Each structure stands twice: as structure tokens, then as C-alpha cells.
Amino acid sequence: MNEQQGRRSDTLVWLITGSSRGFGRRIVEAALDCGDRVVATARRSTSLDDLAARYGSDRLLVAALDVTDADAATQVVGRAVDRFGRLDVVVDNAGYANSGSIEEMPAADFREQIETNFFGVVNVTRAALPVMRAQRSGLFLQFSSVGGRIGGTPGLSAYQAAKFAVEGFSEVLAAESAPFGVGVVIVEPGAFRTDWQGDSMTMHPVGPDYETTIGRIHEQRRHSDGTQPGDPARAARVLVDLAHGDLGQAHEALPMRLLLGGGAVDRVLNGEQRRLEEAAAWADVSRSADFPSAESGTTDVGTTTEGTAA
């Protein structure tokens, strides 16, 4: 896209984590190509040198950021505001997955995945939220995964646990920040042609008892890498259009969750249907845990609100 053709009058300021490759890289490019201003971050700022060379420094600020470092996240947010005067969109994208069985995965690896994939989101969100609250505007695009809603993939216990946590955290964030005009969208990609299951993933050896589950999936990953149906550049354009409101004509509000990719849609529709069927099948047993109603002698279901539910 020609920069002048793509430039919008309502330019936004973005902060994007994990910008060196994959979704992060594509979102940086899509935002810059439409005329927005971007703070692109990665663990090693040198991995972003080509972006700086291509786009210059007028609308791009490159910064090193380890998202597990809360103080560093606060400093980067400060630099973003000092440079561009505001902060409109935060993309919490940095993350990775290693695969191995629950009992065999090194404990340090498990914890590091949680630190990056979950606490990294927490750190950057907490750093940016005071700015957006003061502005009374802003948008968080919180990267989860289709596995963060419909989990159970053998080998991905740490990754999917972290993504489930991101979803719970982000739902509370949405409820707390809505009065300030701050929006939250949980992004749930399916299989995309990034290096998520390639160079970025360590597939730990598994014992013979796990060969038919995790071992089989490892083999499938090796053979399918590079053929995933999802196009990260197209997904990035969807997210940039979403942030600019260009997809809002047919919808009254931003989605709480945005699935990316047809496979993700199919997986969620099938998975949610199974959950609904299970909830209905066990409803009588579930309701029997309530106090009996004094008037009828039967269980009083009543209404449970988020304010009283665990």
C-alpha cells in the first residue's frame, strides 16, 4: 500500500510487543502503512533495525522490552507518551509456546512460559492503563489463542494455562476500564503461517507413554509448519481496521473476543456446543448444590451475578 494512499486523518499511536516477527511484525507494518505512529518493541531492539531503516523515525519508535520486567514496561510506556503525546492502542502480542508433557517438561520452562505469556500481558497492561484512564480513551488488543478458549491440546499445558489466564484477566480489565472509555478485545488466532510452531517452539522429547498423544502432535507440527491456512498480514489488517472502527458498521460494539482464521471459528463453535450440552445434561446435579427453597422445598436457583460469583 502506498503510504499516502493509506494515510488516515484519524491517526493512532500504537504500542506493540513482540514486534520482531509473526503477528507483531505484521501489525507494526499495517499500522505504519496506514499512517499511524508506532512504538515497536522486542527483547532485542536490533531485531527491529530493518523496520527503522524502512520507515524512518518520524512515526516509529523502536525500543527494547522484556515484558517480564514490569519496570521496563513502565519506562517504554513513558517513552511512547513523551514521543507521541498519547497512547491509543496497546497490542499485547509477545509470547511463545514450548511443547512437552506436564510431568516431563522442565519446571523452569513451564514457569518461564507463564511469566512471558501471562505476566507479560499483566505488566504491559498495568503500565499503559493509567495513561488511557487519564485520556478517557484507548484500546487493548490482548493476544490469546483459540487454545485459550477451547484448550486441551496435549503438550501445551503451560501455554494454554497462560492464555486461559489472559482471557480471565482481560475480561476483568474490560469491566473495570469501560467507564473510562477504554476498550478490550481478546484476540484468538487459530493456525497461522508464523514461526510459532517452527523456530520459536521447543518440542521436548516425550516418554513412550506419551508418544500417541504429544509425540503424534509433534510429528504433525513438523510436517504442517509453513502450510498453515492463516495469513498474518491479512490478520494484521483486520486488527488495524478494527482499531480505526472500519469494521464497526455492521456491529454495535467491539467484540469481547475476536477469532482469527476459519479453523478457529470451527473449533470454537464445536467446542462451545459440547460445553452447552454438558452443562444442560448435568444441570440438575449442579442446581442441587444450592440451599433448598424454604417455600417450595426445592432448590432455589436464583440469579448469580459477577459480583458474587467466584
Quick one: three-class SS letters along the chain? CCHHHHCCCCCCEEEECCCCCHHHHHHHHHHHHCCCEEEEEECCHHHHHHHHHHHCCCCEEEEECCCCCHHHHHHHHHHHHHHHCCCCEEEECCCCCCECCCCCCCHHHHHHHHHHHHHHHHHHHHHHHHHHHHHCCEEEEEECCHHHCCCCCCCCHHHHHHHHHHHHHHHHHHHHHHHHCEEEEEEEECCECCCCCCCCCCECCCCHHHHHHHHHHHHHHHHHCCCCCECHHHHHHHHHHHHCCCCHHHCCCCCCEEEECHHHHHHHHHHHHHHHHHHHHCHHHHHCCCCECCCCCCECCCCCCCCCCC
Percent of the chain whose predicted confidence (pLDDT) is above 70: 88
Q: How far is CA 118 from CA 69, 112, 164, 254, 268, in A?
A: 12, 10, 9, 23, 22
Higher-pLDDT residue of 57, 227: 57
pLDDT value for 310: 58
pLDDT value for 237: 94
Which residues are known to be catalytic?
144, 159, 163
pTM: 0.88
- For 122-132, b/e burial (b = at least 16 CB within 10 A) is bbbbebbbebb
CB atoms within 10 A of CB 259: 20
Residue whose grid cell is 484468538? 188
pLDDT value for 203: 87
pLDDT value for 199: 81
pLDDT value for 2: 39
Higher-pLDDT residue of 3, 120: 120
Encode pLDDT of 98-153 as tens digits: 999 999 999 999 999 999 999 999 999 999 999 999 999 999 999 999 989 999 89
Residues 146 and 160: their CA atoms lie apart, in Å, by 9
CB atoms within 10 A of CB 81: 18
Residues 91 and 40: their CA atoms lie apart, in Å, by 10
User: CATH number for the 3-260 domain, one of 3.40.50.720, 3.30.1300.10, 1.10.3720.10, 3.40.50.970?
Assistant: 3.40.50.720
pLDDT value for 120: 98
pLDDT value for 200: 81
pLDDT value for 195: 72
Question: 16 CB contacts (<8 Å, ≥6 apart)?
Answer: 24, 27, 28, 31, 38, 39, 40, 41, 90, 91, 93
**Is the pLDDT score of 293 beyond 90?**
no
Q: How far is CA 168 from CA 49, 161, 231, 276, in A?
A: 35, 11, 27, 19
Find out whether 68 and 120 touch, Cβ atoms under 8 Å.
Answer: yes
pLDDT value for 298: 55
pLDDT band at 4 (very low <50, low <70, confident <90, very high): very low
Question: 251 CB contacts (<8 Å, ≥6 apart)?
Answer: none
Encode pLDDT of 61-77 as tens digits: 999 999 999 999 999 99
Encode pLDDT of 227-257 as tens digits: 777 789 999 999 999 999 866 544 567 899 9
Encode pLDDT of 11-44 as tens digits: 999 999 999 989 999 999 999 999 999 999 999 9
266 closest CA partner among 149, 153, 95: 149
**Is the pLDDT score of 307 beyond 60?**
no
Find out whether 190 and 163 touch, Cβ atoms under 8 Å.
Answer: no
pLDDT value for 294: 66
Lowest mean pLDDT among 97-111, 174-188, 204-218, 234-248: 234-248
